[in-house]
Chains A and B, each alone.
Chain A
Amino acid sequence: MIALLLLVPLLAALAAVLLGRNERLHGRIAVIGAIISLLLLPFVSRGNFNIGWFSIGNYALGIGILVMPLNMLLLGITLLIAPFILAYSLGFMDIRSEQRRFYAEMLMFEIAMLLFAMSGSFITLLIAWEFLSLSSYLLIGFWHWKEKARKAARKAFTVVLIGDLSMLAAIAILWNAYGTLSFAAIMSSIGAAAPILLYPAALLLIVAILTKSAQFPFQNWLPDAMEGPAPVSAFLHSTTMVKAGVFSAMIFLPLFLYTKTTSILLVLGAVSAVLATMNAMKETHIKKIIAHSTIQELGLMLVAIGSGAILAAAYFFIVQSFYKALLFFSAGSAMDASGSEDIRHAPGMRSNTALYASTLLAVISLAGFIPFSGFFFNSAADAYFSSNMIIYSALTLISVMTSFYIFRWFLLISKRPEDKRLEVGYVSLPKSMVYSGVGMAVLTVASSLSFFSLRWLLPQSALYYLGNLGMLLHQGSTALPGISKAVLETILATAGALASYTAYRKGIRAGHLVSKVFNSEETFSSIYLGMASMACTVSEGAVLLEIYINAFFDSFGRFAMASGAQLRKAAVGSINIYAVIMAVCILAFLAFGYAYMAGLI
């Protein structure tokens, strides 16, 4: 059954590629495939399977499949969101060509994420992990005739390749430390190897996580990746790709706890969150604002994981998917309707009520109003960090600023436009785009309620392999927040929203203020470019060195040729010269013979 889950989208992808020239058919097949595989989910049986793949002598490497509550959760989210995203693409991609490539790649993306979600060994994980990189590369560069898209795709793949190869290195270390690659076997007997051996593995895994989840210092590829089509961004930011990093941080938590590297996750997550929040406040690209917001949220998840607040992280992990997909739907719709990527040039969303309402819902979920998603995370996280004043105040500040930038985004695109054509653009958006947004809004509300059922969704056995280390985790704190907490959180969110409202009503460009003092995106972009150009410079040096090495080895040939040319002069055919040489040789031989006889040598 678990194989069917992957097989159905695969068949759908094949069908989409092979069937017909009808451009609408490809998309529909993809949606149907995604829905069928969602319907199969309840029939999937739980357990830990190992399918043999190949073996060398006594060593066997297998495809491990693990279906546990945590995996089911990720499978469920991915399968639930995929049909909506594909349905949204029906409207979004309709005007553009190459439907079959698009849907095949989207389904490949989904398959990679499903495989990732059910992976039970490092081999499976690495396969899924690299396939995620590959399919995101193909999708980000989908519009390859745009130079920016090409460059963004290459940047994304290059940065993520660092993580892929770090993962490969980490796997080599873990294999030699434990003799197996199964998660259950490694994580349950984590103490079998010395921490000093595992420390490099933990660091390499952290690098892999940071690249995949676009965290400091590798965060720069994600905003650039916005060059891809909006459904791709929605997929990439909600369930696939970036979530893979955070999810594997949860899986590897025992290793990080054992090697005491969780604080690295915590610090880097916090730094990313702060940087991303600042970037989101100054950004003007419709999708990039939400992209920065994703980096911020993933950073917060890593903070939560790094401090052991695994339930808060898991909860945020669930709810973030839904409203983030919805926000990207809205952003894509706004870009489609206005034909502009700039937030200041795409007003008029209010004219499309369904779109407006669903976007508002996503915005207040993100901002953290009671009783929506963000609120529960904030209160859950606060409960963990109430003892740590630094993180607590940082989180509070971030939640106010989040509310500020997302309302800025929302207020600007829902402003009444001066140009009436923009309103027409919004009204005449394809139905599939608007209604998949509405469907996603329903899911967003439903997911907010998952807070109350988290204990049921994620029982203790979710991380059953944690063993004794599980004791270190903070298990509580899914209780309902108190009244005072609720009031405080809502006040904070409202304060951010109001600040944003006043600022943009009065035309104060807070973003400009931020961008004056703070320019991290450019800085990191230039770091990436600097690395690339450094590699090129070193490469030029190597090319030059090649010439010298070449010349060095050629010089042997030259020497042979030159000495041959000189020696040839001796063989001119003159009997006199030959006679002299012969005489000299005979004399030398006689002299040698005499010396030998006389015992001189």
Chain B
Amino acid sequence: MLSSLFLPLIIVIPLLSLLALFLLGEDRSHDVVKASAVLVFIATLATVFQGSSSFILPYLASVGISLHLVVNSFNSILLIMAAIVYLAASLVGDYFIKRNRKMYGLFFLLAEASSLGVFLSYNLFMFYVFWEISEIMMFFFIFVYGGTMRRYAAFKFIIYSLTSSLLLLIGIMLIYANVNPHTFDLSLLMQSAQTIQPGMQLGISVLLLISFMIKMPVFPFHSWLPDAHTEAPTTGSMILAGVLLKFGGYGLLLLLSMLPVARHYSLYIMAFAVFSTVYSALAAIKQSNIKRAIAYTSITDMGIIAVGLAAYNALGSMGALYGMLSHGIAISLLFLIAGTLNETYNTFDINKIKGVIANFTDMTYLFIIGALAAIGIPLTSGFIGDILIFLGSYGTFGLIGLLPITGILLIGAMMLWIIERVFVSRKETEPYAEPDRSVLYSGSMLLFFSILFGIVPFILLGFR
């Protein structure tokens, strides 16, 4: 019973912190954000480790809209991921965001509440509402705090995202209209959605699939992502790559478990994902902007996750969820270090930064281990995710399911090349500034979780 009290707290804490944000001044806003992120993290851990639980607050009960929050073995992994990424991003807020701090706090807290809400809510309507709010917050992150091309990137992001969420909305409405009795509640839909006519199921699947492919993103709907990441502020990139991309993956999982017809076409999902994986890894190699290169590896990793989801068996789905967790942590770490390089060297250009190890040994180690975590070296959580995904995808697709491994090879080679050129090379460029200690704390925390979930995966997965 206690757990169902904790459950809404995850969303309520950031919203209550908004009050504190408005009462306290501009100077304290980062502290409010940090405190809120810590509390959310604790509440999430408490909820997740108390096991499955649910909470219902009827809202517009007559049309089936209610705030139905559920924690189960699937979304608990994503909840922990989101809590960790938001905590890490809040820690470095002081360092990366120096103007409009109060507004930043507003965006951050709303984004946090809504993205946790996406993973928590078991009512498709609220799912959509939370999804939409977090997208708009991300638009503001990019638009207000972004780099020189922020206008272009922000509008591109919001146009793609709105397309994605409109398709999602249409899909959800179609589901609502076609099930009997009409409902948005996932716990009912898991059974009743199977009775929708196959033709309509196919239509809904296509709509939702395109929506999720834009969000994940999967080729050819990915071109918003490199721009958005390049222009977003560092904390925005961490949240975007670490949390928001996972909406697509989670949605895909829900779609596949809801509509049986979608499962018949999983081969097509897999084909897109495989191509996306290899293609984006190739596109990453020759990028000269370190943040852009990392953004492309993010597409690669999400492609691998999509393959695991498309496999739709126990190992593949769980591997994909675990892969999302490890990708969220590793990619946030990489973006954090890339952002720190920009703060200290004033550039993202791979060819203009040389010999970071001579100045910032900690940053170098964090980046190297983060890069290794991104390619799934054992004892980081990526290893568990990768191995489960491929065990599952071979089971469903056979040898074709193993093709994304070439993508891992390519991003591995690319990461090593970046490490060689930027980090361990002979020192030629002097930094303009020292990094803040908070980067080290935040990065070490991400690293700790990456290794923790790599060594003791049974705390999130089962143990037998």
> A169–B402 contact, CB under 8 A?
yes
Interface size on A, residues (CB 8 A): 54
Residues of B within 8 A of A127 (CB): 378-379, 383
- How far, in Å, is B387 (CB) from chain A's closest CB? 7
Query: 19 A–B contact pairs at CB < 8 A?
Result: A54-B461, A56-B315, A56-B461, A59-B315, A126-B387, A150-B420, A151-B420, A169-B402, A169-B405, A172-B402, A173-B402, A538-B282, A539-B282, A541-B282, A542-B282, A542-B283, A542-B286, A545-B283, A549-B220
Is A345 in the interface zone, CB < 8 Å from B? no
Is A284 in the interface zone, CB < 8 Å from B? no
- Other-chain residue from B286, B383, B458 in contact with A539 (beta carbon distance below 8 A): B286
A543 to B288, CA, bound (A): 11
Main secondary structure of the interface of B (DSSP, over half): helix
Residues of A within 8 A of B286 (CB): 536, 539-540, 542-543
Residues of B within 8 A of A145 (CB): 426
> A172–B282 contact, CB under 8 A?
no
A433 to B464, CA, bound (A): 50
Q: A130-B378, A131-B378, A161-B413 are in contact. Are A55 and B390 (CB under 8 A)?
A: no
Is A585 in the interface zone, CB < 8 Å from B? no
Is B394 in the interface zone, CB < 8 Å from A? yes
Is A171 in the interface zone, CB < 8 Å from B? yes
Closest A residue to B315 using CB positions: A56
> A150–B425 contact, CB under 8 A?
yes
> A147–B426 contact, CB under 8 A?
yes
Is B15 in the interface zone, CB < 8 Å from A? no
A171 to B383, CA, bound (A): 13
Instruction: Beyond A131-B379, A158-B412, list 15 extra A-B contacts (CB 8 Å).
Output: A52-B458, A52-B463, A54-B462, A55-B458, A55-B464, A57-B462, A59-B315, A161-B413, A165-B405, A168-B386, A169-B405, A175-B391, A176-B394, A200-B399, A536-B286
Is A162 in the interface zone, CB < 8 Å from B? yes
- How far, in Å, is A51 (CB) from chain B's closest CB? 11
A61 to B406, CA, bound (A): 24
Is B188 in the interface zone, CB < 8 Å from A? no
Is B395 in the interface zone, CB < 8 Å from A? yes
A153 to B417, CA, bound (A): 11
> B408–A165 contact, CB under 8 A?
yes
Give a binary string over B367-386; 1 marks a CB under 8 Å from any A CB, 0 the rest. Answer: 00000100101110001101
Residues of A within 8 A of B167 (CB): none
- Other-chain residue from A134, A154, A550 in contact with B223 (beta carbon distance below 8 A): A550
The 7 closest A-B pairs by CB, nearest first: A539-B285, A542-B283, A127-B378, A172-B394, A539-B286, A55-B464, A144-B424
Is A546 in the interface zone, CB < 8 Å from B? yes
Is A123 in the interface zone, CB < 8 Å from B? yes
Give a binary string over B439-459; 1 marks a CB under 8 Å from any A CB, 0 the rest. Answer: 000000000000000000110
> B420–A154 contact, CB under 8 A?
yes
Residues of A within 8 A of B463 (CB): 52, 54-55
Is B393 in the interface zone, CB < 8 Å from A? yes
Residues of B within 8 A of A591 (CB): none
- Other-chain residue from B405, B417, B458 in contact with A54 (beta carbon distance below 8 A): B458
Give a binary string over B281-303; 1 marks a CB under 8 Å from any A CB, 0 the rest. Answer: 01111110000000000000000
- Other-chain residue from A56, A134, A169 in contact with B372 (beta carbon distance below 8 A): A134
- How far, in Å, is B149 (CB) from chain A's closest CB? 13
Q: A161-B412, A535-B413, A557-B159 are in contact. Are A54 and B457 (CB under 8 A)?
A: yes
Interface residues of A in 527-586 (CB under 8 A from B): 532, 535-536, 538-543, 545-546, 549-550, 553-554, 557
A539 to B413, CA, bound (A): 12
> B409–A53 contact, CB under 8 A?
no
Select the residue from A54, A59, A549 with max chain B CB neighbours within 10 A: A54
> B283–A543 contact, CB under 8 A?
yes
- How far, in Å, is A191 (CB) from chain B's closest CB? 21
Is B186 in the interface zone, CB < 8 Å from A? no
Residues of B within 8 A of A171 (CB): 387, 390-391
Is A9 in the interface zone, CB < 8 Å from B? no
A538 to B279, CA, bound (A): 10
A536 to B283, CA, bound (A): 9
> B405–A168 contact, CB under 8 A?
yes
Q: A53-B458, A59-B314, A168-B386 are in contact. Are A154 and B395 (CB under 8 A)?
A: no
A130 to B383, CA, bound (A): 10
A59 to B395, CA, bound (A): 13
Closest A residue to B375 using CB positions: A161
> B223–A546 contact, CB under 8 A?
yes
- Other-chain residue from B315, B357, B377, B417 in contact with A154 (beta carbon distance below 8 A): B417
> A55–B426 contact, CB under 8 A?
no
> B393–A172 contact, CB under 8 A?
yes
Interface residues of A in 431-453 (CB under 8 A from B): none
- How far, in Å, is A130 (CB) from chain B's closest CB? 5
Give B contacts to A, CB under 8 Å. Answer: 156, 159, 220, 223, 226-227, 279, 282-287, 314-315, 318, 357, 372, 375, 377-379, 383-384, 386-388, 390-391, 393-395, 399, 401-402, 405-406, 408-410, 412-413, 416-417, 419-420, 424-426, 457-458, 461-464
Closest B residue to A124 using CB positions: B378
Residues of B within 8 A of A549 (CB): 220, 223
A200 to B398, CA, bound (A): 11
Residues of B within 8 A of A123 (CB): 387
A54 to B384, CA, bound (A): 10
Residues of A within 8 A of B386 (CB): 168
> A165–B409 contact, CB under 8 A?
yes
Is A157 in the interface zone, CB < 8 Å from B? yes
Residues of A within 8 A of B379 (CB): 127, 131
- How far, in Å, is B102 (CB) from chain A's closest CB? 32
Residues of B within 8 A of A539 (CB): 282-286
Residues of A within 8 A of B226 (CB): 546
> B391–A172 contact, CB under 8 A?
yes
A506 to B279, CA, bound (A): 59
> A56–B388 contact, CB under 8 A?
yes
- How far, in Å, is A418 (CB) from chain B's closest CB? 35
Interface residues of A in 12-57 (CB under 8 A from B): 52-57
- Other-chain residue from A58, A131, A535, A557 in contact with B410 (beta carbon distance below 8 A): A535
Residues of A within 8 A of B314 (CB): 56-59
- How far, in Å, is B67 (CB) from chain A's closest CB? 30
A275 to B86, CA, bound (A): 55
A532 to B412, CA, bound (A): 13
Is A141 in the interface zone, CB < 8 Å from B? yes
- How far, in Å, is A199 (CB) from chain B's closest CB? 11
A564 to B13, CA, bound (A): 44
A137 to B384, CA, bound (A): 22
Residues of A within 8 A of B391 (CB): 171-172, 175-176
Closest A residue to B416 using CB positions: A154
Residues of B within 8 A of A147 (CB): 425-426
Closest A residue to B364 using CB positions: A144
A58 to B313, CA, bound (A): 12
Is A480 in the interface zone, CB < 8 Å from B? no
Closest B residue to A542 using CB positions: B283
Interface residues of A in 230-280 (CB under 8 A from B): none
Residues of A within 8 A of B390 (CB): 168-169, 171-172
Is A60 in the interface zone, CB < 8 Å from B? yes
A151 to B416, CA, bound (A): 10
> A150–B424 contact, CB under 8 A?
yes
Closest B residue to A166 using CB positions: B405
A176 to B285, CA, bound (A): 33
Residues of B within 8 A of A131 (CB): 377-379
> A126–B378 contact, CB under 8 A?
yes
A162 to B413, CA, bound (A): 10
- How far, in Å, is A200 (CB) from chain B's closest CB? 6
A76 to B458, CA, bound (A): 32
A157 to B424, CA, bound (A): 15
